[in-house]
Protein backbone atom coordinates (compact mmCIF):
# COMPACT_ATOMS: atom_id res chain seq x y z
CA UNK A 1 0.00 0.00 0.00
CA UNK A 2 1.23 3.52 -0.82
CA UNK A 3 -0.45 5.96 1.59
CA UNK A 4 -1.17 9.47 0.41
CA UNK A 5 0.78 12.39 1.89
CA UNK A 6 -1.08 15.41 3.23
CA UNK A 7 0.00 18.45 5.21
CA UNK A 8 -1.45 19.84 8.39
CA UNK A 9 -1.15 23.35 6.95
CA UNK A 10 -3.47 22.40 4.07
CA UNK A 11 -5.97 20.55 6.32
CA UNK A 12 -6.57 18.23 3.33
CA UNK A 13 -7.01 14.92 5.08
CA UNK A 14 -9.59 13.26 2.84
CA UNK A 15 -7.55 10.70 0.87
CA UNK A 16 -8.22 7.36 2.53
CA UNK A 17 -7.02 3.91 1.53
CA UNK A 18 -8.60 0.66 2.72
CA UNK A 19 -6.82 -2.39 4.09
CA UNK A 20 -9.16 -5.14 5.32
CA UNK A 21 -10.26 -3.64 8.64
CA UNK A 22 -8.06 -0.51 8.69
CA UNK A 23 -8.27 2.74 6.76
CA UNK A 24 -4.80 4.31 6.47
CA UNK A 25 -3.62 7.85 5.69
CA UNK A 26 -0.14 9.29 5.97
CA UNK A 27 0.06 12.83 7.27
CA UNK A 28 3.21 14.91 7.07
CA UNK A 29 3.05 17.46 9.88
CA UNK A 30 5.03 20.56 8.99
CA UNK A 31 6.62 23.11 11.26
CA UNK A 32 6.87 20.97 14.41
CA UNK A 33 10.46 20.27 15.31
CA UNK A 34 11.43 16.61 15.37
CA UNK A 35 8.05 15.35 14.18
CA UNK A 36 8.13 12.79 11.40
CA UNK A 37 5.20 11.74 9.22
CA UNK A 38 2.16 10.28 10.92
CA UNK A 39 0.01 7.38 9.69
CA UNK A 40 -3.66 7.65 10.49
CA UNK A 41 -5.62 4.40 10.77
CA UNK A 42 -9.31 3.81 11.34
CA UNK A 43 -10.03 0.69 13.38
CA UNK A 44 -13.40 -0.73 12.37
CA UNK A 45 -13.24 -4.39 13.42
CA UNK A 46 -13.55 -5.93 16.88
CA UNK A 47 -10.43 -8.08 16.38
CA UNK A 48 -8.27 -5.01 15.74
CA UNK A 49 -9.89 -3.32 18.75
CA UNK A 50 -8.95 -6.31 20.92
CA UNK A 51 -5.39 -6.31 19.62
CA UNK A 52 -4.93 -2.64 20.55
CA UNK A 53 -4.89 -3.39 24.29
CA UNK A 54 -1.14 -3.33 24.96
CA UNK A 55 -0.46 -0.30 22.74
CA UNK A 56 -3.49 1.57 24.12
CA UNK A 57 -2.23 1.01 27.68
CA UNK A 58 1.31 2.11 26.77
CA UNK A 59 -0.01 5.30 25.15
CA UNK A 60 -2.09 6.04 28.25
CA UNK A 61 1.10 6.09 30.33
CA UNK A 62 2.39 8.91 28.09
CA UNK A 63 -0.81 10.99 27.83
CA UNK A 64 -2.00 13.72 30.20
CA UNK A 65 -5.64 12.90 29.42
CA UNK A 66 -5.32 9.29 30.59
CA UNK A 67 -7.66 8.11 33.32
CA UNK A 68 -9.56 4.92 34.12
CA UNK A 69 -12.46 6.07 31.91
CA UNK A 70 -10.06 6.32 28.96
CA UNK A 71 -8.55 2.87 29.45
CA UNK A 72 -8.87 0.07 26.91
CA UNK A 73 -10.66 -2.10 29.49
CA UNK A 74 -13.47 0.44 29.94
CA UNK A 75 -14.02 1.02 26.22
CA UNK A 76 -13.70 -2.59 25.10
CA UNK A 77 -16.10 -3.80 27.80
CA UNK A 78 -18.61 -1.08 26.92
CA UNK A 79 -18.48 -2.07 23.26
CA UNK A 80 -19.03 -5.75 24.09
CA UNK A 81 -22.12 -4.96 26.18
CA UNK A 82 -23.71 -1.93 24.54
CA UNK A 83 -22.90 -1.95 20.81
CA UNK A 84 -26.05 -2.35 18.73
CA UNK A 85 -26.82 -3.35 15.16
CA UNK A 86 -26.69 0.26 14.01
CA UNK A 87 -23.29 0.89 15.64
CA UNK A 88 -19.97 0.66 13.80
CA UNK A 89 -16.51 0.95 15.35
CA UNK A 90 -14.55 4.02 14.27
CA UNK A 91 -11.42 4.25 16.43
CA UNK A 92 -9.01 6.79 14.96
CA UNK A 93 -5.31 6.15 15.62
CA UNK A 94 -2.14 8.01 14.69
CA UNK A 95 1.25 6.33 14.45
CA UNK A 96 4.80 7.62 14.04
CA UNK A 97 7.26 5.07 12.76
CA UNK A 98 4.81 2.33 13.73
CA UNK A 99 4.43 3.57 17.33
CA UNK A 100 0.94 4.51 18.50
CA UNK A 101 1.04 8.21 19.45
CA UNK A 102 -2.63 9.24 19.25
CA UNK A 103 -6.03 7.60 19.68
CA UNK A 104 -9.61 8.86 19.46
CA UNK A 105 -12.11 6.18 20.61
CA UNK A 106 -15.25 6.71 18.51
CA UNK A 107 -18.10 4.81 16.90
CA UNK A 108 -20.70 5.64 14.26
CA UNK A 109 -24.40 5.21 14.92
CA UNK A 110 -26.88 5.22 12.03
CA UNK A 111 -30.31 6.76 12.50
CA UNK A 112 -33.19 4.34 12.90
CA UNK A 113 -35.53 6.72 11.07
CA UNK A 114 -33.60 8.99 8.69
CA UNK A 115 -31.23 7.32 6.17
CA UNK A 116 -27.80 8.93 6.14
CA UNK A 117 -28.32 10.69 9.48
CA UNK A 118 -25.25 9.12 11.07
CA UNK A 119 -23.73 10.35 14.32
CA UNK A 120 -20.11 9.94 15.46
CA UNK A 121 -19.75 9.49 19.24
CA UNK A 122 -17.27 8.58 21.94
CA UNK A 123 -17.28 4.89 22.77
CA UNK A 124 -18.85 4.64 26.21
CA UNK A 125 -21.63 7.14 25.48
CA UNK A 126 -25.00 7.10 23.73
CA UNK A 127 -26.66 4.26 25.61
CA UNK A 128 -30.16 4.67 27.04
CA UNK A 129 -30.37 6.64 30.28
CA UNK A 130 -31.72 3.62 32.14
CA UNK A 131 -28.51 1.68 31.22
CA UNK A 132 -26.03 4.57 31.46
CA UNK A 133 -22.59 3.79 32.87
CA UNK A 134 -21.52 7.47 32.97
CA UNK A 135 -18.30 7.47 30.97
CA UNK A 136 -16.77 10.77 32.01
CA UNK A 137 -13.71 12.79 30.99
CA UNK A 138 -13.92 11.66 27.36
CA UNK A 139 -11.01 12.92 25.30
CA UNK A 140 -8.22 12.14 22.88
CA UNK A 141 -5.24 10.08 24.07
CA UNK A 142 -2.08 11.65 22.69
CA UNK A 143 1.60 11.28 23.41
CA UNK A 144 2.58 14.26 25.58
CA UNK A 145 5.32 15.20 23.09
CA UNK A 146 2.82 15.54 20.25
CA UNK A 147 -0.52 16.32 21.90
CA UNK A 148 -0.94 19.79 20.37
CA UNK A 149 -0.40 18.58 16.80
CA UNK A 150 -2.49 15.42 17.20
CA UNK A 151 -5.32 17.37 18.85
CA UNK A 152 -5.43 19.69 15.84
CA UNK A 153 -5.47 16.72 13.48
CA UNK A 154 -8.26 15.09 15.49
CA UNK A 155 -10.42 18.22 15.43
CA UNK A 156 -9.93 18.61 11.69
CA UNK A 157 -10.75 14.96 11.13
CA UNK A 158 -14.05 15.25 12.98
CA UNK A 159 -14.99 18.23 10.82
CA UNK A 160 -14.56 16.25 7.60
CA UNK A 161 -18.01 14.68 8.08
CA UNK A 162 -16.82 11.73 6.03
CA UNK A 163 -19.71 9.31 6.58
CA UNK A 164 -21.41 11.22 9.43
CA UNK A 165 -23.41 14.45 9.63
CA UNK A 166 -22.90 15.29 13.30
CA UNK A 167 -20.50 14.55 16.16
CA UNK A 168 -21.66 14.27 19.78
CA UNK A 169 -19.06 14.42 22.56
CA UNK A 170 -20.48 14.05 26.08
CA UNK A 171 -19.04 14.73 29.53
CA UNK A 172 -15.76 16.36 28.53
CA UNK A 173 -13.67 18.58 30.77
CA UNK A 174 -13.57 22.10 29.40
CA UNK A 175 -9.76 22.00 29.36
CA UNK A 176 -9.58 18.63 27.57
CA UNK A 177 -7.19 18.27 24.65
CA UNK A 178 -9.94 17.71 22.12
CA UNK A 179 -12.20 20.55 23.26
CA UNK A 180 -9.35 23.07 23.18
CA UNK A 181 -8.59 22.06 19.59
CA UNK A 182 -12.26 22.14 18.56
CA UNK A 183 -12.83 25.59 20.03
CA UNK A 184 -9.66 26.91 18.38
CA UNK A 185 -10.96 25.71 15.02
CA UNK A 186 -13.97 28.04 15.31
CA UNK A 187 -16.22 25.81 13.25
CA UNK A 188 -19.47 27.75 12.60
CA UNK A 189 -21.73 24.81 13.48
CA UNK A 190 -20.14 23.94 16.83
CA UNK A 191 -22.52 23.87 19.81
CA UNK A 192 -21.26 23.73 23.41
CA UNK A 193 -23.34 23.46 26.56
CA UNK A 194 -22.64 22.85 30.24
CA UNK A 195 -22.99 19.32 31.57
CA UNK A 196 -22.23 20.28 35.17
CA UNK A 197 -19.04 20.42 37.20
CA UNK A 198 -16.35 18.01 38.24
CA UNK A 199 -16.05 17.97 42.04
CA UNK A 200 -12.54 17.01 43.06
CA UNK A 201 -10.79 17.26 46.40
CA UNK A 202 -7.06 17.68 46.81
CA UNK A 203 -6.46 15.44 49.80
CA UNK A 204 -5.20 17.35 52.88
CA UNK A 205 -2.35 15.89 54.89
CA UNK A 206 -4.70 14.42 57.52
CA UNK A 207 -8.36 14.11 58.43
CA UNK A 208 -8.27 16.77 61.14
CA UNK A 209 -6.98 19.37 58.67
CA UNK A 210 -9.72 18.39 56.26
CA UNK A 211 -12.50 18.64 58.83
CA UNK A 212 -11.34 22.12 59.81
CA UNK A 213 -11.68 23.17 56.15
CA UNK A 214 -15.36 22.20 56.13
CA UNK A 215 -16.42 24.83 58.63
CA UNK A 216 -17.19 24.52 62.32
CA UNK A 217 -20.84 23.49 61.99
CA UNK A 218 -20.31 20.61 59.55
CA UNK A 219 -17.12 19.48 61.31
CA UNK A 220 -18.99 19.43 64.64
CA UNK A 221 -21.77 17.27 63.19
CA UNK A 222 -19.29 14.81 61.65
CA UNK A 223 -17.37 14.46 64.93
CA UNK A 224 -20.65 13.82 66.74
CA UNK A 225 -21.41 10.98 64.29
CA UNK A 226 -17.91 9.58 64.73
CA UNK A 227 -18.42 9.46 68.51
CA UNK A 228 -21.80 7.78 68.00
CA UNK A 229 -20.32 4.92 65.95
CA UNK A 230 -17.49 4.51 68.45
CA UNK A 231 -20.05 3.99 71.23
CA UNK A 232 -21.55 1.21 69.06
CA UNK A 233 -18.19 -0.52 68.67
CA UNK A 234 -16.68 1.43 65.76
CA UNK A 235 -16.68 1.01 62.00
CA UNK A 236 -14.94 -1.78 60.08
CA UNK A 237 -13.79 -1.31 56.47
CA UNK A 238 -13.43 -4.29 54.15
CA UNK A 239 -12.35 -4.41 50.51
CA UNK A 240 -12.80 -6.91 47.70
CA UNK A 241 -10.04 -9.54 47.55
CA UNK A 242 -11.22 -11.58 44.55
CA UNK A 243 -13.44 -11.45 41.47
CA UNK A 244 -15.93 -13.68 43.27
CA UNK A 245 -15.85 -11.28 46.19
CA UNK A 246 -16.63 -8.44 43.82
CA UNK A 247 -19.85 -10.16 42.71
CA UNK A 248 -21.03 -10.46 46.30
CA UNK A 249 -20.10 -6.87 47.16
CA UNK A 250 -21.75 -5.59 43.99
CA UNK A 251 -25.04 -7.23 44.98
CA UNK A 252 -24.89 -5.56 48.39
CA UNK A 253 -24.14 -2.22 46.76
CA UNK A 254 -27.09 -2.67 44.40
CA UNK A 255 -29.45 -3.44 47.28
CA UNK A 256 -28.48 -0.36 49.27
CA UNK A 257 -28.54 1.85 46.19
CA UNK A 258 -32.00 0.57 45.27
CA UNK A 259 -33.23 1.26 48.81
CA UNK A 260 -32.07 4.86 48.57
CA UNK A 261 -33.41 5.47 45.07
CA UNK A 262 -36.78 3.88 45.88
CA UNK A 263 -37.13 6.22 48.87
CA UNK A 264 -36.56 9.14 46.46
CA UNK A 265 -39.02 7.61 43.96
CA UNK A 266 -36.32 7.05 41.37
CA UNK A 267 -35.26 3.90 39.57
CA UNK A 268 -31.81 2.60 40.40
CA UNK A 269 -29.43 2.09 37.48
CA UNK A 270 -28.49 -1.21 39.16
CA UNK A 271 -31.82 -2.55 37.90
CA UNK A 272 -30.33 -2.52 34.39
CA UNK A 273 -29.07 -5.92 33.24
CA UNK A 274 -26.59 -4.28 30.87
CA UNK A 275 -25.24 -2.03 33.60
CA UNK A 276 -24.63 -5.03 35.85
CA UNK A 277 -23.02 -7.05 33.04
CA UNK A 278 -20.75 -4.15 32.15
CA UNK A 279 -19.40 -3.84 35.68
CA UNK A 280 -19.05 -7.56 36.22
CA UNK A 281 -16.88 -7.86 33.12
CA UNK A 282 -15.03 -4.60 33.73
CA UNK A 283 -13.97 -5.46 37.26
CA UNK A 284 -12.91 -8.94 36.21
CA UNK A 285 -10.43 -7.10 33.96
CA UNK A 286 -9.46 -4.32 36.38
CA UNK A 287 -9.23 -6.27 39.63
CA UNK A 288 -5.76 -7.67 38.92
CA UNK A 289 -4.34 -4.13 38.52
CA UNK A 290 -6.06 -2.74 41.64
CA UNK A 291 -7.87 -0.21 39.47
CA UNK A 292 -11.32 -0.95 40.96
CA UNK A 293 -12.63 -1.80 44.38
CA UNK A 294 -15.85 -1.96 46.39
CA UNK A 295 -15.46 -0.74 49.95
CA UNK A 296 -17.91 -1.98 52.58
CA UNK A 297 -18.40 -0.22 55.91
CA UNK A 298 -19.88 -2.31 58.74
CA UNK A 299 -21.08 -1.26 62.18
CA UNK A 300 -20.91 -4.53 64.03
CA UNK A 301 -22.74 -7.06 61.85
CA UNK A 302 -24.73 -4.36 60.09
CA UNK A 303 -23.77 -3.11 56.62
CA UNK A 304 -23.85 0.68 56.89
CA UNK A 305 -22.47 1.89 53.54
CA UNK A 306 -20.81 0.72 50.32
CA UNK A 307 -18.58 2.73 47.97
CA UNK A 308 -17.59 1.70 44.44
CA UNK A 309 -14.33 3.39 43.42
CA UNK A 310 -11.82 3.40 40.58
CA UNK A 311 -8.14 4.25 40.84
CA UNK A 312 -5.55 5.63 38.43
CA UNK A 313 -2.32 7.57 38.89
CA UNK A 314 -2.79 9.97 41.77
CA UNK A 315 -6.60 9.79 41.94
CA UNK A 316 -9.37 7.83 43.63
CA UNK A 317 -12.60 8.23 41.64
CA UNK A 318 -15.78 7.77 43.67
CA UNK A 319 -18.24 6.23 41.22
CA UNK A 320 -21.31 4.81 43.00
CA UNK A 321 -22.58 4.22 46.52
CA UNK A 322 -25.35 2.91 48.70
CA UNK A 323 -26.06 3.38 52.40
CA UNK A 324 -28.56 2.31 55.01
CA UNK A 325 -31.29 4.82 55.69
CA UNK A 326 -31.77 3.57 59.23
CA UNK A 327 -30.16 6.03 61.69
CA UNK A 328 -28.59 7.87 58.75
CA UNK A 329 -28.95 11.24 60.49
CA UNK A 330 -27.21 9.88 63.54
CA UNK A 331 -24.37 7.99 61.86
CA UNK A 332 -23.92 9.96 58.58
CA UNK A 333 -22.91 6.67 56.89
CA UNK A 334 -22.02 8.03 53.44
CA UNK A 335 -19.92 10.89 54.83
CA UNK A 336 -18.04 8.61 57.23
CA UNK A 337 -17.49 6.10 54.42
CA UNK A 338 -15.96 8.85 52.29
CA UNK A 339 -13.69 9.92 55.15
CA UNK A 340 -12.46 6.35 55.59
CA UNK A 341 -11.81 5.95 51.86
CA UNK A 342 -10.03 9.32 51.77
CA UNK A 343 -7.75 8.08 54.54
CA UNK A 344 -7.10 4.85 52.66
CA UNK A 345 -6.34 6.82 49.49
CA UNK A 346 -4.03 9.14 51.41
CA UNK A 347 -2.11 6.16 52.78
CA UNK A 348 -1.84 4.75 49.25
CA UNK A 349 -0.16 7.96 48.12
CA UNK A 350 -3.12 9.38 46.18
CA UNK A 351 -3.28 13.15 45.74
CA UNK A 352 -6.93 13.57 44.70
CA UNK A 353 -10.34 12.26 45.72
CA UNK A 354 -12.66 12.73 42.78
CA UNK A 355 -16.42 12.95 43.39
CA UNK A 356 -16.82 13.23 39.60
CA UNK A 357 -19.58 15.09 37.79
CA UNK A 358 -22.51 16.77 39.47
CA UNK A 359 -24.97 19.57 38.79
CA UNK A 360 -25.55 22.21 41.47
CA UNK A 361 -27.17 22.02 43.91
CA UNK A 362 -25.56 18.74 44.99
CA UNK A 363 -24.38 17.14 48.22
CA UNK A 364 -20.88 17.12 46.70
CA UNK A 365 -20.67 20.83 47.48
CA UNK A 366 -20.54 19.92 51.18
CA UNK A 367 -17.09 18.33 50.79
CA UNK A 368 -15.17 21.55 49.99
CA UNK A 369 -14.14 20.38 46.51
CA UNK A 370 -12.39 22.23 43.72
CA UNK A 371 -14.66 22.43 40.67
CA UNK A 372 -13.93 22.29 36.95
CA UNK A 373 -16.47 22.95 34.18
CA UNK A 374 -17.70 19.96 32.20
CA UNK A 375 -19.34 20.27 28.80
CA UNK A 376 -21.12 18.49 25.99
CA UNK A 377 -19.97 19.43 22.50
CA UNK A 378 -21.83 18.85 19.25
CA UNK A 379 -20.39 19.46 15.78
CA UNK A 380 -22.85 19.73 12.89
CA UNK A 381 -22.19 19.51 9.20
CA UNK A 382 -24.66 22.26 8.36
CA UNK A 383 -25.58 25.43 10.24
CA UNK A 384 -29.31 24.66 10.03
CA UNK A 385 -28.72 21.50 12.11
CA UNK A 386 -27.23 23.62 14.87
CA UNK A 387 -30.17 26.04 14.71
CA UNK A 388 -32.66 23.18 15.02
CA UNK A 389 -30.70 21.69 17.93
CA UNK A 390 -30.80 25.02 19.78
CA UNK A 391 -34.58 25.30 19.29
CA UNK A 392 -35.09 21.68 20.41
CA UNK A 393 -33.04 22.15 23.59
CA UNK A 394 -34.86 25.36 24.52
CA UNK A 395 -38.25 23.75 23.93
CA UNK A 396 -37.29 20.70 25.97
CA UNK A 397 -36.03 22.89 28.83
CA UNK A 398 -39.31 24.84 28.91
CA UNK A 399 -41.34 21.63 28.83
CA UNK A 400 -39.29 20.20 31.70
CA UNK A 401 -39.78 23.35 33.75
CA UNK A 402 -43.54 23.24 33.13
CA UNK A 403 -43.69 19.56 34.12
CA UNK A 404 -41.91 20.31 37.42
CA UNK A 405 -44.36 23.13 38.18
CA UNK A 406 -47.34 20.86 37.48
CA UNK A 407 -45.96 18.10 39.71
CA UNK A 408 -45.69 20.55 42.61
CA UNK A 409 -49.38 21.47 42.41
Identify the band that residue 275 occupies on the pLDDT scale cut at 50, 70 and 90. Answer: very high
Model pLDDT for residues 283-299, shown as the tens digit of each residue: 999 988 999 999 999 99
**Domains recognised in the chain with CATH numbers:** 5-195+374-408 (3.40.630.30), 204-350 (3.40.630)
The C-alpha angle 96, 99, 102, rounded to 5 degrees, equals 75
Q: How far is CA 223 from CA 209, 228, 330, 338, in A?
A: 13, 9, 11, 14
For the cut 70, the answer to whether the pLDDT of residue 162 exceeds it is: yes
Identify the band that residue 403 occupies on the pLDDT scale cut at 50, 70 and 90. Answer: confident
- Mean pLDDT across 312-335: 96
Lowest mean pLDDT segment, chosen from 133-142, 255-264, 291-300, 303-312: 255-264
pLDDT of 24? 61
Q: What percent of the chain has pLDDT over 90?
A: 80
Model pLDDT for residues 254-271, shown as the tens digit of each residue: 999 999 898 888 899 999
For the cut 60, the answer to whether the pLDDT of residue 391 exceeds it is: yes
pLDDT of 36? 54
For the cut 70, the answer to whether the pLDDT of residue 14 exceeds it is: no
Model pLDDT for residues 167-188, shown as the tens digit of each residue: 999 999 999 999 999 999 988 8
Beta bridge partners of 119: 109, 166
For the cut 70, the answer to whether the pLDDT of residue 34 exceeds it is: no
Q: How far is CA 66 from CA 57, 332, 349, in A?
A: 9, 34, 18
- Residue 388: phi, psi to the nearest 5? -65, -40
- Mean pLDDT across 116-132: 95
For the cut 80, the answer to whether the pLDDT of residue 371 exceeds it is: yes
Lowest mean pLDDT segment, chosen from 66-70, 194-198, 217-221, 387-391: 387-391
For the cut 50, the answer to whether the pLDDT of residue 149 exceeds it is: yes
Please answer whether residues 181 and 155 qualify as being in contact, where contact means their C-beta atoms are separated by less than 8 angstroms.
Answer: yes
Identify the band that residue 76 occupies on the pLDDT scale cut at 50, 70 and 90. Answer: very high
For the cut 50, the answer to whether the pLDDT of residue 18 exceeds it is: no
- Mean pLDDT across 306-313: 97
- Mean pLDDT across 242-256: 94
- Cα-based torsion angle of the residue sequence 354, 357, 363, 366 in order, rounded to the nearest 10 degrees: 50
Average pLDDT value over all residues in the chain: 90
Residue 405 vs residue 69, higher pLDDT: 69
- Mean pLDDT across 323-343: 96
DSSP state string for 377-389: EEEESSHHHHHHH
pLDDT of 169? 98
Identify the band that residue 30 occupies on the pLDDT scale cut at 50, 70 and 90. Answer: very low
Q: For 345, how many CA atoms within 13 A lie in the half-sphere containing its CB? A: 31
Q: What percent of the chain has pLDDT over 70?
A: 91
For the cut 70, the answer to whether the pLDDT of residue 361 exceeds it is: yes
pLDDT of 369? 98
For the cut 60, the answer to whether the pLDDT of residue 7 exceeds it is: no
Amino acid sequence: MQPTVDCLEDSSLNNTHFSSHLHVDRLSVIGIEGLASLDREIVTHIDDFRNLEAEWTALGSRSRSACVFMQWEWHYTWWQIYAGKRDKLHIVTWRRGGELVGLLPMYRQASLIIPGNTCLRFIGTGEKAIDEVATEYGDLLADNRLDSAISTLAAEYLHQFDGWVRVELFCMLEDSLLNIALQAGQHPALLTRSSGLRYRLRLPKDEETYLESLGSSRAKRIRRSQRAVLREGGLELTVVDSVAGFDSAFRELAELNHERQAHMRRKSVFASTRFRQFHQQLCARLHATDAADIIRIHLGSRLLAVLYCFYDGQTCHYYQSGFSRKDSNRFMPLTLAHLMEMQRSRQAGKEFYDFMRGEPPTYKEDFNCETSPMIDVACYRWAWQKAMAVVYRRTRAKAGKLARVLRQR
